[in-house]
């Protein structure tokens, strides 16, 4: 009888096997985590002032956000204002870290997003699983979305179709230069910058690159930096006197104060 008691106790625990089984089951941490994530995607509750204004329809375009340089902390803001965004996975590469227990492998994803109409973003995320890395990179790309300034090569006929001037971006050893091109030229570029320029809504452009362009991560970043530099200079068409308006936070301060007072009590 004395020997039977320890055997029963070990059999009840089953050598930690049942503990792991419960963790992986529907009642474990994984099941609860998945449920919370689904609920968050279905019903978004904004936690920032900008999120509340966008969800309630007070801010109706990304240009209002760019005009006052408001930081975007919630990717749902971009989902509401730019519903036609398309994402493209540029590269997925494994990265390793040496630890005492051996090598830890994770996956690094580069994702570009754009609406083919003047908005483009780039996100880089590292995670244990490929799906998690892609999902996180898409979120970071939405948070880093920027406006794209387009212009003309010659006469100002029709819609802007190319970059307004020669711009350059650099990341690591890679230098990417964008040169205006006449209408109908298309995108004369390698596959990597060609995808970024297409998502940005640029139809005609010459490109020139130097450095180790086989390092695709730096090549993508250099192209993205070059596109972002299109708004870094002041041209004569922007010399007109600007009529300043109130900041959205100041304009809707009374509304934000009332919305803050309606917080649920726990």
Please determine, for residue 144, whether its predicted confidence score (pLDDT) is greater than 90.
yes
Residues near 255 by beta carbon (within 8 Å), at least 6 away in sequence:
53, 56, 58
Residue 264's pLDDT band, with cuts at 50, 70 and 90, is: low
Q: With b meaning 16 or more CB within 10 Å and e meaning fewer, what string describes 134-164?
A: bebbbbbbbbbbbbbbbbbbeeeeeebbbbb
Please determine, for residue 111, whether its predicted confidence score (pLDDT) is greater than 80.
yes
Mean model confidence pLDDT for the chain = 86
What pLDDT shows up at residue 238?
A: 82
17-31, 37-51, 61-75: lowest mean pLDDT where? 17-31
Q: What is the pTM of this model?
A: 0.80
Please determine, for residue 194, whether its predicted confidence score (pLDDT) is greater than 70.
yes
Please determine, for residue 15, whether its predicted confidence score (pLDDT) is greater than 90.
no
Q: How many CB atoms lie within 10 A of CB 259?
A: 15
Read off the pLDDT of residues 48-104 as tens digits, 9 standing for 90 and up.
Answer: 999 999 999 999 999 999 999 999 999 999 999 999 999 999 999 999 999 999 999
Rounded-to-integer distance, Cα 21 and Cα 250, Å: 54
Read off the pLDDT of residues 120-133 as tens digits, 9 standing for 90 and up.
Answer: 999 999 999 999 99
């Amino acid at each position: 009888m004395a020997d039977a008691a320890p055997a029963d106790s070990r059999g009840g625990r089953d050598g930690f096997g049942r503990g792991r089984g419960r963790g992986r089951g529907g009642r474990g941490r994984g099941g609860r985590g998945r449920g919370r994530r689904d609920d968050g995607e279905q019903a978004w509750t904004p936690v920032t002032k900008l999120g509340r204004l966008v969800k309630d329809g007070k801010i109706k375009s990304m240009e209002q956000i760019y005009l006052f340089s408001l930081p975007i902390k919630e990717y749902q803001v971009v989902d509401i204002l730019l519903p036609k965004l398309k994402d493209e996975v540029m590269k997925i590469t494994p990265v390793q870290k040496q630890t005492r227990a051996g090598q830890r492998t994770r996956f690094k994803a580069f994702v570009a997003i754009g609406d083919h109409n003047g908005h483009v973003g780039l996100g880089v995320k590292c995670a244990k699983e490929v799906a998690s890395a892609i999902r996180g990179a898409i979120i970071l790309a939405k948070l880093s979305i920027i406006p794209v300034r387009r212009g003309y090569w010659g006469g100002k006929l029709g819609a802007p179709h190319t970059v307004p001037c020669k711009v350059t971006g650099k990341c690591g050893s890679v230098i990417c230069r964008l040169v205006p091109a006449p209408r109908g030229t298309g995108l004369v570029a390698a596959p990597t910058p060609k995808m970024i320029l297409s998502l940005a809504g640029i139809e005609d452009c010459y490109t020139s690159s130097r450095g180790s362009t086989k390092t695709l991560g730096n090549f993508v970043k250099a192209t993205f930096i070059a596109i972002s530099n299109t708004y870094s200079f002041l041209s004569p068409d922007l010399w007109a006197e600007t009529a300043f308006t109130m900041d959205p936070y100041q304009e809707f301060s009374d509304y934000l104060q009332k919305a803050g007072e309606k917080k649920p009590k726990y």
